[in-house]
């Protein structure tokens, strides 16, 4: 996945989640992430976790739909520099609680990593 990234507990957790997704689904699913990449510096990769990039990795392999919601437009702008929107990757500037209340599709994986 990201071989140049130092091995951390957070990184190991993401590797495990991807392994579970591959074993359980290995097909298109719907992933919703609240919060997103907020900082694109090299130093931020380790602390921020960059989970959005992990979901893109899974989406690239399985054609899964990713819905990324953040209340802060600047965070969305930063995240789109690393993971651009596409037919499978959708960004929303909205309060995550309101977004989830109105999301009318089945969510296979909900990753909550937001401030609201």
Each residue's pLDDT tens digit, 33-60: 999 988 776 666 665 657 898 899 999 9
SS (H, E, C) the chain: CCCCCCCCHHHHHHHHHHHHHHHHCCCCCEEEEECCCCCCCCCHHHHHCCHHHHHHHHHHHHCCEEEEEECCHHHHHHHHHHCCCCCCEEEEECCHHHHHHHCCCCCCEEEECCCC
Report the alpha-carbon distance of residue 67 to residue 65 in Å, rounded.
Answer: 7
Q: Is residue 1 predicted with pLDDT exceeding 50?
A: no
Domain 9-112 fold is Rossmann fold (3.40.50)
The rounded distance, in Å, linking the Cα atoms of 56 and 54 is 5
Reported confidence tier of residue 99, pLDDT bands at 50, 70, 90: very high
Q: pLDDT, tens digit, for every residue of 61-72?
A: 999 999 999 999
Percent of the chain with pLDDT over 70: 83
- Give pLDDT, residue 91: 98
């Amino acid at each position: 996945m990201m071989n140049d990234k130092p091995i951390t507990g957070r990184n190991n957790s993401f590797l495990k989640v991807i392994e579970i997704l591959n074993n359980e689904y290995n097909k298109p699913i719907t992933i919703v992430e609240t919060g997103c990449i907020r900082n694109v510096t090299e130093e931020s990769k380790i602390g921020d976790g960059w989970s959005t990039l992990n979901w893109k990795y899974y989406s690239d392999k399985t054609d899964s739909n990713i819905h990324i919601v953040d209340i802060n437009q600047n965070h969305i702008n930063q995240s789109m520099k690393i993971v651009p929107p596409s037919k499978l990757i959708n960004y929303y500037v909205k309060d995550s609680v309101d977004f989830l209340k109105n999301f009318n599709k089945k969510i296979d994986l909900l990753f909550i990593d937001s401030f609201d």
